[in-house]
Amino acid sequence: MDNTHFVVTADGSRTLFQPEVGEHYHSKHGAHQESRHVFLGQGLQHYLAGNPSDTEVSILEVGFGTGLNFLLTADYVTAEKINLYYCGVEAFPLSKEVISQTGYEAYIEPELWESFLNSYEKALVGDHEVSAHATLAIAHQKILDFAPQRRFHVVYFDAFAAIHQPDMWTDEVLNHVANLLVTGGVFVTYAITGNLKRSMKALGFSIEKAPGAPGKREMLRATKL
Ligand SMILES: C[S@@+](CC[C@H](N)C(=O)[O-])C[C@H]1O[C@@H](n2cnc3c(N)ncnc32)[C@H](O)[C@@H]1O
């Protein structure tokens, strides 16, 4: 795992620090809280509230990393009996050994955790059923090389912050990701900046400022018009 190492965040959950990028995988104010609030709450649950009859939903995550966003989402859809197709794009997948040391089993059903660990390497090769309600694929690619046939209902945009990895927040990347959403689809990310709002508006999205996770006042939610 080179010099990447775990640190404990303010809510007691762990995240990874990536020294080459100079950035944590999650908020140091609380990895678990951030993931639950930004992606599951303001992303999937918001989308489902607006589409209450949907029993099938697809999610694209940009930056799969440790899989925390997937785990909380898969746990939720399994309890709600909603069928989920989840594709995480990840340019630098972590080893199964690192994934197994996150401690994220504390936040989900034990069977899901076991199944996730058994599925992780298979999902890196293709679609894999992690639970009766959740299918996972992890595309080992850079986001600009990811060109799937399908379109997604929700995008979890979880790139490293623009200050550390500006090439993930360019109009080229945002346009590429925007094209992978259905009309009415929802894009969420933990951050909000003037540039990001302008770019998403120009790409044909309606923009909302949602309350941020602990440590951030606001975050962006954008809906494709
Ligand atoms: C903030 S972390 C993601 C955290 C992750 N969602 C989690 O729950 O652990 C950003 C991720 O983006 C990945 N990444 C960096 N450049 C990328 C690229 N060009 N395409 C796809 N993923 C990339 C990194 O390897 C890292 O895993």
Residue 1 in this model has a pLDDT that exceeds 80: no
Residue 14 lies in a domain: no
The model's pLDDT over 124-181, given as tens digits with 9 standing for 90+, comes to 999 999 999 999 999 999 999 999 999 999 999 999 999 999 999 999 999 999 999 9
Residue 4 lies in a domain: no
CATH number at 157 reads 3.40.50.150
Which residues have any ligand 1 atom within 6 Å of their CB? 25, 63-66, 68-69, 89-92, 142-143, 158-160, 168
User: What's the pLDDT at 87?
Assistant: 98
Residue 116 lies in a domain: yes
Cα 130 to the center of its chain, rounded Å: 17
Domain count for the chain: 1
Of 62, 75, 94, 154, which is best to mutate to test ligand 1, by the most ligand atoms within 8 angstroms of its C-beta? Answer: 62
Indicate whether this model's pTM tops 0.95: yes
Residue 22 lies in a domain: no
Residue 102 CB contacts under 8 Å (≥ 6 apart), including other chains: 6, 14, 66, 67, 68
Residue 15 lies in a domain: no
Residue 10 lies in a domain: no
Of 1, 23, 90, 100, which is best to mutate to test ligand 1, by the most ligand atoms within 8 angstroms of its C-beta? Answer: 90
Residue 55 CB contacts under 8 Å (≥ 6 apart), including other chains: 81, 82, 83
The model's pLDDT over 23-33, given as tens digits with 9 standing for 90+, comes to 999 999 999 99
The model's pLDDT over 33-46, given as tens digits with 9 standing for 90+, comes to 999 999 999 999 99
Residue 180 lies in a domain: yes
- Please give the torsion angle defined by the CA atoms of residues 6, 30, 155 and 220, in that order, rounded to the nearest 10 degrees: -130
How remote is the CA of residue 20 from the centroid of ligand 1, in Å?
A: 13
Please answer whether residues 9 and 103 qualify as being in contact, where contact means their C-beta atoms are separated by less than 8 angstroms: no
Domain that residue 150 falls in: 29-224
* 61 vs 212: CA distance, rounded Å: 19
User: What's the pLDDT at 214?
Assistant: 94
* 199 vs 173: CA distance, rounded Å: 11
